[in-house]
Chains A and B, each alone.
Chain A
Amino acid sequence: MSYERRGGGGRRRHHRDDYDDRRREPYESPDDKLKNAIIKLGEVDPVEELPRLEKQIREHVPRNIPILSEAFRIGVTEEPYKTPYYAALLRLLHDPSDVGIPDETPLGRLILEDFWKGFQGYLDKVAWRETRLCIHFFAHLTVAKLISPESLFSLLQSFTAVLDEFGVSHGRAKRAALCAGEGLLVVCPILIPGGGHLDFSQAGPILKQYSPSNTTDIIEAIRTYNELTVTQKWLVAPVTKIYSDVVPEENAVELLDILLTILQTLDRGDFEETANCLPRPYSEYPEIDTTVLPPYNLPLVLVPPEIIELDALSGDSGEEAQVKKEEWPEFFIRLFGSEVSPDFQNPVGYILRTALLDITDIFEVNRKECARLLLEYPKWNLPGTFKPKPGATVTADPVPGKDWQLESTIIETTLGAYLILPESSSKSIYYTSLITELCKLSPSTVGPAVGKSIRKLYISLSEGLDVEVARRFAEWFAVHMSNFGFQWVWKEWVPDLSLTVQHPRRAFMRRAIEYEIRLSYHDRIMKTLPESMQTPEAYTIAEQAPGPDFGYDDPGKAHHDAAQAVLNLFRGRAKAEDVISHLDTLKSTLESSDEGHVNVDAVVRSIAVQSLLHIGSRSFSHLLNAIERYLPLLRNLASSGVSSVGGGGNAEAKADILSAAAAFWKHNRQMVGIVFDKLMQYQIVDPTDVVGWTFLNGAVIGQFSELAGPMNLSTFEWDLLKGALDKANGRVMIARRKVTALRKEDDDTRARVKASTDADTMEVDAEEKPEDTTSDNPALVTALKAFSSLTKEQKAALSKTLEGFVSCLAPSLTDPSPNPHARTVISEEAWENRANWGRDEWSAWETWGWYRQFCRAYSPYLRTYSNTLYAISFAKFDGSKDPAAELLKRIWNIATGQDA
Chain B
Amino acid sequence: MAHVVSSLDQPSNYKDSQTRVDRMKQNEMLSKSTTLYIGNLSFYTTEEQIYELFTKCASPEDGGGIKRIIMGLDRNTRTPCGFCFVEYYTHAEALASMRYVSGTKLDERIIRCDLDLGYKEGRQFGRGKSGGQVRDEHRQDYDPGRGGWGAQAQRIEIERRREVEERYADAVDGPGAVAGGGEDWKEAENAAPEKTLKRGRSPDDEGNNNGRLGQRTRTEEDMEAERM
Question: Which A residues have a C-beta under 8 Å from some C-beta of B?
Answer: 3, 5-6, 9-12, 14-15, 17, 20, 22, 39, 74, 78-79, 362-369, 427-430, 432-433, 436, 475, 479, 482-483, 485, 515, 518-521, 523, 618-622, 624-625, 627-628, 644-647, 670-671, 674, 677-678, 681-683, 723, 726-727, 729-731, 733-735, 737-738, 779, 782, 785-786, 789-790
- Knowing A433-B100, A520-B107, A619-B46, the reply to whether A730 touches B186 (Cβ < 8 A) is no
Whole-angstrom CA separation of A737 from B184 in the bound complex? 13
Residues of B within 8 A of A427 (CB): 56-57, 96, 100
Residues of A within 8 A of B60 (CB): 723, 726-727, 730
- The 8 Å CB contact of A22, one of B23, B65, B103, is B23
Decide if A365 touches B8 in the complex (CB within 8 Å): yes
Decide if A619 touches B71 in the complex (CB within 8 Å): yes
- The 8 Å CB contact of B104, one of A483, A620, A734, is A483
- Knowing A366-B8, A618-B167, the reply to whether A15 touches B13 (Cβ < 8 A) is yes
Interface band, chain B: 35 or more
B115 → chain A closest CB, angstroms: 13
A697 → chain B closest CB, angstroms: 22
* 11 extra interface residue pairs, beta carbon distance < 8 Å, beyond A78-B1, A735-B185: A12-B7, A15-B12, A22-B23, A363-B4, A430-B99, A430-B100, A621-B70, A670-B51, A678-B182, A734-B184, A734-B197
Decide if A674 touches B7 in the complex (CB within 8 Å): no
Decide if A483 touches B100 in the complex (CB within 8 Å): no
B93 → chain A closest CB, angstroms: 10
**Contact stretch, chosen from B128-136, B188-196, B203-211:** B188-196
Decide if A485 touches B108 in the complex (CB within 8 Å): yes
The 9 sampled A-B contact pairs (Cβ below 8 Å) are A6-B5, A429-B96, A430-B99, A436-B104, A519-B49, A521-B46, A521-B160, A622-B167, A671-B48
B117 → chain A closest CB, angstroms: 15
The answer to whether the Cβ of B81 comes within 8 Å of any Cβ in the partner chain is no
Residues of B within 8 A of A9 (CB): 2
Decide if A429 touches B3 in the complex (CB within 8 Å): no
Whole-angstrom CA separation of A66 from B68 in the bound complex? 49
**What 4 A-B pairs have minimum CB-CB distances, sorted nearest first?**
A624-B179, A10-B2, A365-B7, A726-B60
Decide if B106 touches A519 in the complex (CB within 8 Å): yes
B221 → chain A closest CB, angstroms: 13
Decide if B62 touches A730 in the complex (CB within 8 Å): yes
Chain B residue nearest in CB terms to A515: B52
Residues of A within 8 A of B53 (CB): 479, 519
| In the complex, chain B residues 142-172 whose Cβ is within 8 Å of any chain A Cβ | 156, 160, 167-168
Decide if A625 touches B179 in the complex (CB within 8 Å): yes
Whole-angstrom CA separation of A644 from B186 in the bound complex? 14
Whole-angstrom CA separation of A695 from B83 in the bound complex? 39
B19 → chain A closest CB, angstroms: 12
Residues of B within 8 A of A785 (CB): 187, 190
Chain B residue nearest in CB terms to A520: B107
Decide if B48 touches A366 in the complex (CB within 8 Å): no
- The 8 Å CB contact of B65, one of A479, A515, A677, A779, is A677
Decide if A644 touches B188 in the complex (CB within 8 Å): yes
Residues of A within 8 A of B63 (CB): 730-731, 733-734, 737
The answer to whether the Cβ of B141 comes within 8 Å of any Cβ in the partner chain is no
Decide if B99 touches A682 in the complex (CB within 8 Å): no
Residues of B within 8 A of A646 (CB): 187-189
- Knowing A429-B100, A430-B100, the reply to whether A74 touches B105 (Cβ < 8 A) is no
Q: Mark B29-67 against chain A: 1 for CB-CB distance below 8 A, else 0.
A: 000000000000000001111011100110111111100
Whole-angstrom CA separation of A432 from B3 in the bound complex? 25
Decide if B108 touches A628 in the complex (CB within 8 Å): no
Decide if A647 touches B188 in the complex (CB within 8 Å): yes
- Knowing A518-B48, A731-B63, A733-B63, the reply to whether A365 touches B68 (Cβ < 8 A) is no
Whole-angstrom CA separation of A17 from B160 in the bound complex? 38
Decide if B99 touches A621 in the complex (CB within 8 Å): no
Question: Which B residues have a C-beta under 8 Å from some C-beta of A?
Answer: 1-10, 12-13, 15, 23, 46-49, 51-53, 56-57, 59-65, 68-71, 96, 99-101, 103-108, 156, 160, 167-168, 178-182, 184-190, 192, 194, 197, 223
Task: Name A's interface SS.
Answer: helix
B60 → chain A closest CB, angstroms: 4
Residues of A within 8 A of B107 (CB): 519-520
Decide if B5 touches A366 in the complex (CB within 8 Å): yes
Whole-angstrom CA separation of A437 from B105 in the bound complex? 11
Residues of A within 8 A of B156 (CB): 523
Select the residue from B51, B64, B223 with max chain A CB neighbours within 10 A: B51
Decide if A683 touches B188 in the complex (CB within 8 Å): yes
Whole-angstrom CA separation of A11 from B10 in the bound complex? 10
Select the residue from B49, B69, B180 with max chain A CB neighbours within 10 A: B49
Chain B residue nearest in CB terms to A482: B105
A165 → chain B closest CB, angstroms: 28
Whole-angstrom CA separation of A735 from B184 in the bound complex? 9
- The 8 Å CB contact of A620, one of B2, B23, B69, is B69
Decide if B100 touches A363 in the complex (CB within 8 Å): no
Residues of B within 8 A of A475 (CB): 56
A440 → chain B closest CB, angstroms: 10
Decide if A730 touches B64 in the complex (CB within 8 Å): yes
A527 → chain B closest CB, angstroms: 9
Decide if B99 touches A20 in the complex (CB within 8 Å): no
Chain B residue nearest in CB terms to A372: B5
Chain B residue nearest in CB terms to A365: B7
Whole-angstrom CA separation of A860 from B9 in the bound complex? 30
Decide if A14 touches B3 in the complex (CB within 8 Å): no
Chain B residue nearest in CB terms to A679: B182
Whole-angstrom CA separation of A730 from B156 in the bound complex? 42
Residues of A within 8 A of B2 (CB): 9-11
Decide if B4 touches A12 in the complex (CB within 8 Å): no
A611 → chain B closest CB, angstroms: 16
Select the residue from B2, B70, B101 with max chain A CB neighbours within 10 A: B2
- Knowing A3-B4, A624-B181, the reply to whether A518 touches B49 (Cβ < 8 A) is yes
Whole-angstrom CA separation of A368 from B103 in the bound complex? 10
B185 → chain A closest CB, angstroms: 5
Residues of B within 8 A of A523 (CB): 156, 160
Whole-angstrom CA separation of A753 from B80 in the bound complex? 57
Chain A residue nearest in CB terms to B191: A644
Residues of B within 8 A of A20 (CB): 13, 23
- Knowing A20-B13, A78-B3, A731-B63, the reply to whether A621 touches B184 (Cβ < 8 A) is no
Decide if A628 touches B179 in the complex (CB within 8 Å): yes
B28 → chain A closest CB, angstroms: 15
Whole-angstrom CA separation of A752 from B170 in the bound complex? 56
